[in-house]
Structures are given as C-alpha cells and as structure tokens.
Chains A and B, each alone.
Chain A
C-alpha cells in the first residue's frame, strides 16, 4: 500500500513583531491562514480539515484554544486537531496534517501554528513551581547553556563561533520582510559586545519573543495539479522523542535527533546529506545550536560542525546555507517557530523566498526541536514530486 503524495501549495505568515496589539489571537491566526489561502488561490470552502499547533497554553492563558479559534479558522463543521509537542510543535503539527493526506483521510488540509507571546509572559509560563521537580526558573537559556558549554569542550570549538551564527542570521533576516528583528546596523563586534546572559550565551545570540503565526495548505496529487504556483513536495517527514533526563542521554547530540534525520533521509533516498541537500532551515534558538545540529543532522562529523560555520559554508551564499530566513534567532513566536522552518524550506524549493532565495534550491530540510532537546520533527521537501 503506497502513501498519497503530499504537496505544499499555500504558505502564509504574519509579519512577526514583539507585540501585535492591533489584533486578537483569532485575528492573528486568521491573517496567516488567509495569506496561505491567497497563495494557493483557494477559499475556506476548499479546506477539508484544520490542524493547529502551539506551545504551552500558559503562554497566552487560553486552555485548549482550538475551541475558541474554530470560527476564526473556518473550521466550523470540519475536523479540527490540536497538536502540542513543546518547541517542536510547529513541525509536528505540519506532519500530523501531512498524515491526513498521506493516509487519504482528507484531500486538502489547512495547518497553522502560532504564538502571541505579548498576551502573557513566557518566562512565567515556564517557571510554575511543581512539587518534586526542578522548575525552569532561569528560562530556556539557563537550561541549554550548560549543553552549549559541553559542546565547546567536546569539540574544541573557539568561543567566537556563536557570534558568527548570530551575525549571519540577523543579516539574513534583513532580507526577509516577515522577520521580527531587522537590525540594520548589526556588526559582528556588536554581537560580541552584547551582554552575557547565560555564559556562554550572549544577548545577541538569543532568540526574541515574538507574536506571529504561520499557515500552510497541504494537498494531495490532484490538488497539486490544480495549484497556480509550483508546489513543494514532501519527500520525507518524521518525529522522534526521548526522555527529558536520564543517565544515558547525550544532551549535546541527542539520539532522537539522529534517528529522526536518518528516517527522513531514508524516506527521501538521501545517502549523503551534505552533498544532496541544498539548504537547511533549522531550529536555532541560541546561536551555538547551529554547529551542534549540523553534526546531529549528519552534515558534519562529530566535533566538526563549527568548522562549517566558521568557514562560511552556512552563509546565504555558502555551499550549505542555513537559516536563510534569519531563523529562530531573528523570529521566535515559539509555537510557530517550527512551522516557519518547514514553511521556509517549502518556499525555497518553490523558488518563492524572495531576497533570501537560494538559487537552484531543489531539496531543503526543515527542522524543529523542543522540550529538553527531546522532541524532534523534520521534513525534507523538494521541487520535484517524490519517486514512488
């Protein structure tokens, strides 16, 4: 039994900013969904089901918001699913939507992820005291900084690599009209001079808090044939999870990430990711995660990822561009961040990434992770339909 091929035919994002005070949560998500419909030249009536994701409900203070958002997303009378897999949720949400088509349950599905961080306080949302368990009182940076330090020690990377990533991503963001941070006066020196927040992570090597939403229209082969613009085709998608804390966990390069990438490459027939994949949108909330994930995803041998970054391979005009959109470092509506990676990968292979387009991008990887580096979701999209 073969799966139905899945295509991305519509993509919409909001302009991501620190606070969208002009719209409600419903207004925000509808804006992204309408742009995706416009891109696909479809109407609400063409959508068979809606799959929505976001990070914890405490971030806005709305419990199970799919109930409240049913009307805004044209879901009344339709199936609506709500996915939540921590920071990887944007990617997972797209993959759950993908399965509805691949399993031939529905023909055309709207999938959307969002976060409106200005409605509440994410640091508070992550820091509720729990009996018998250490709360994340220092926020996500406090949790991840020791793992970055462990990577530096293991790989022998010079401590300048993190700032190179931040400088690159913030410059890439200048070419992306939807990116949150547009730092026109950014320099490498400014990144390096920014305050140390969680040693070794500096302020300018840290993601912002954004309001934003991202939507995609996914469809089957027949839907793709009607698409007015080139579709992006799914060549492989996978999720992997492992426990948060246990003695055998490698927090620098988690096994779940390696297994997830291997599954995607197997589905897509990729044997040498470094040569066969043209660009990557990866989830880099703190700059050092670029070299770390380059290794975890198989683009570099263990301990070698920082050399790719340092030699300019991951620059927009490099041999393996990473985070052409500016990445999570420039735009972080948490629940949407994973889906933005997936959507930006699709934009690249559709040739619609505008100023941050990588010339000739045919196969691009979208990557998301979450929790304590324990949840991974990835997809690989291509300009050509998959070979069945």
Chain B
C-alpha cells in the first residue's frame, strides 16, 4: 500500500517581463509565505524542502544557496535541490514522502530571465562539442518542430494561431499572467512561428506544499491527490527524434495512470503553440478536456517555475472544486526532450 500524497497549497508571483528591483530571494519570499499561510504551517513544521532553479539564468554558480537563506533554514532543515524545473523538485519531494521519512514538503522554483537573452542562454543546454558552438536558439529549434508538424499535416498556421488566441483568452481570468486578452498573430519570429506562437520572456516564482494522508486532509478542505507521477527523457539529438510526436510524454502519462479514465483538465507546459498540438496527440486529449485554463506558458513562462505552476494550477482547480481529475505536464530541454506527467484527483463530492 503506497502512501497517499496531495498538493495542499499553491502560490505564485505575478509574472513580469522584468523585475530589476527584486533579487531572486525577494521575489520568492512572498510566495513561500503565501503557501505556508494557506496550509497554516511554519517553516519549522515542514518535513522536507526541495527547490528547482538554474545557475545559468542567475549568471552565477550556487545561485540557489541564497534562496535557501530566504526559506529560513534555521534550525537546519532536511533539504535538496534539482537543477531542473520545479516540477522535478516536486517529484523528488514526492519520493521522499513515499519513504515515510517526512509527512509534509515545501517545493519551490524560480527563474529570472530578464537579466539576459534567454534564447541565447538556452543554447548552452545543447551538446557542447557539436551543437552549442553553432548557437541554435530555442525559438529556431521550436520552429523546426513546428514546420515538421505542418509538413506532417497535423497542424497549419491558422490552427496554431487558434491555440494562441484560446490561451490568451483563458489568461484573462488569471491575475498572475504576463500576457492576456486578444493577440495579433504577429510577425514571424522564425518561420513558421509568429510572435503569438511564442511564449513571453518573464520572471517569476512558484511554490506548493505537499502532505501525506490524514495530514493532507487536515491542511486542505479538498486535497489534490497525486495518483501517479512519472517522467521520461528522450535522446538529445533532434536528428534521431520524430519531432511530431512525444513518446516520452505518452509513456509518462501511461505510467502515471492517465489513460485509465478520462481527465477533465490538462495543464500542459507547451511554450510554443505547435508543442500543444504535439502534446494533445501524445496525451489523447479531445475537445471535452479543458486545456490550459490558466493560459499556460503562452501567457506566462517563468523558466524553471513554469512546470511546477502547471501542477499547481491543476491542483488549485481541484481545491476549488472546478476539477475532479486533472493532468499536469512539465517539459525540459529542446523540442520537448524530457517530460513529466502528474495525475491529480480530488475526493468525490
């Protein structure tokens, strides 16, 4: 019998193009206070803490150490960090709770893209000997994927524009979103992707509180139970992957139990419109599923936090009674190389 573990609180910043006046710690602290307050917990009550971030956005080594000071790690805490999106920090925290060593976990993630050129920065993720020296940027790589999708007949430019319009319209009810409302299709950034097909560049942070079993029931009126969570990685080189498909997403979803019954909500980390098309196919989502009611990454894309936000948004809908069974997805790497899928459920109403 595995332990039941749930998301019991979720908080995020307002995501913005720049946040020069705030350090990462200053950006993060209100969010930490928010989620702990929602759960009625203090730092000292938390059994395990895990964060996700990347030094390459901060422009310095060990950037996460300062954020830890903001958590208030005194007396000393049981704590860890993944150099990945916060969704994977949540995965690590989930495994820690499964062992029974902790009953509660604080998970947070943050990223400030504004100090640099994120398109250039992300090229440093690529094979350092053969690819990175050419500086192919993240939009150009996504455009290759979009063109492959169009060539395969799975989408066309008006369909992609439709994804953008729907996302921005949904974001109108999300006060944290960076972009919302109607969007002009825009000029080409890298053909066939136009400005509307690409995510905004922004700064932001997010946090969730996890709790196990009865502890979760005491901390939250309607916990979002993690029924399954799995992640899979694909080959790095784009030349050996079918860019129109996402087998790692499909496998993760299968392992998480997503395909056993239909979900009502899907929060997908698809920073490009074309990637939503790929993910919808891999996850077999039809029009009955509400996709990205938050507006998704096309409305706010704070790198390293955006995946955790998908889990948080899906959980918050369960907390509010707007969803009974939701999936959340996070991605990492060029053209959806690595994907995580979590299946969340609320108790029957």
Contact = CB atoms under 8 A, between A and B. Distances in A.
Contacts of A96: 80, 92, 95
A126 B61 CA distance: 6
Interface string A190-213: 000000000000000000000000
Interface stretch (B33-41, B148-156, B330-338): B330-338
A57 interface: yes
B82 A81 contact: yes
Contacts of B289: none
A194 B312 CA distance: 56
A80 interface: yes
Nearest to A88: B80
B56 A63 contact: yes
Interface in B226-251: 230-237, 247-248, 251
Interface string B212-231: 00000000000000000011
A240 B102 CA distance: 13
A92 B251 CA distance: 27
B128 A68 contact: yes
B98 A103 contact: yes
Contacts, number: 194
Contacts of A105: 95, 98
Contacts of B232: 77-79
Contacts of A245: 69
Contact of A82 (B84, B98, B132): B84
A374 interface: yes
Nearest to B129: A24
Which 5 A-B residue pairs are closest in the complex by CB-CB distance? Answer: A103-B98, A56-B61, A256-B76, A84-B83, A241-B79
A242 interface: yes
Interface string A248-268: 100000111001100000000
Given A70-B234, A83-B80, A128 B68 contact: no
A61 B124 contact: yes
B125 A67 contact: yes
Given A57-B55, A68-B125, A132-B23, A1 B3 contact: yes
Given A96-B80, A240-B78, A71 B235 contact: yes
Query: Quick one: which of A65, A68, A238, A259 has the most chain B CB within 10 A?
Result: A68
A95 B92 CA distance: 11
A57 B77 contact: no
Nearest to B96: A99
A3 to B, nearest CB: 5
Contact of A241 (B73, B100, B231, B338): B73
Interface residues of B, number: 65
Contacts of B76: 240-242, 254-256, 259-260
B60 interface: yes
7 contacts: A1-B100, A58-B55, A60-B128, A77-B232, A81-B91, A103-B98, A244-B69
Interface of B: 1-3, 23, 49, 54-56, 59-62, 64-66, 68-69, 72-84, 88, 91-92, 95-101, 121-122, 124-129, 132, 230-237, 247-248, 251, 332-334, 337-338
A63 B72 CA distance: 28
Nearest to B91: A81
Given A100-B95, A371-B65, 5 more contacts: A64-B54, A64-B333, A86-B62, A102-B99, A240-B76
A36 interface: no
Given A1-B3, A99-B99, A248-B74, A125 B61 contact: yes
Given A64-B333, A130-B60, A243 B74 contact: yes
Contacts of B2: 104
Contacts of B230: 79
Contacts of A244: 65-66, 68-69
Query: Quick one: which of B3, B23, B60, B334 has the most chain A CB within 10 A?
Result: B60
A238 to B, nearest CB: 7
Interface string A21-60: 0001100000000000000000000000000000111111
A70 B235 contact: yes
B313 to A, nearest CB: 23
Nearest to B251: A77
Contact of B124 (A62, A78, A92): A62
Interface in A338-388: 371-372, 374-375
Given A83-B81, A84-B82, A240-B78, A3 B125 contact: no
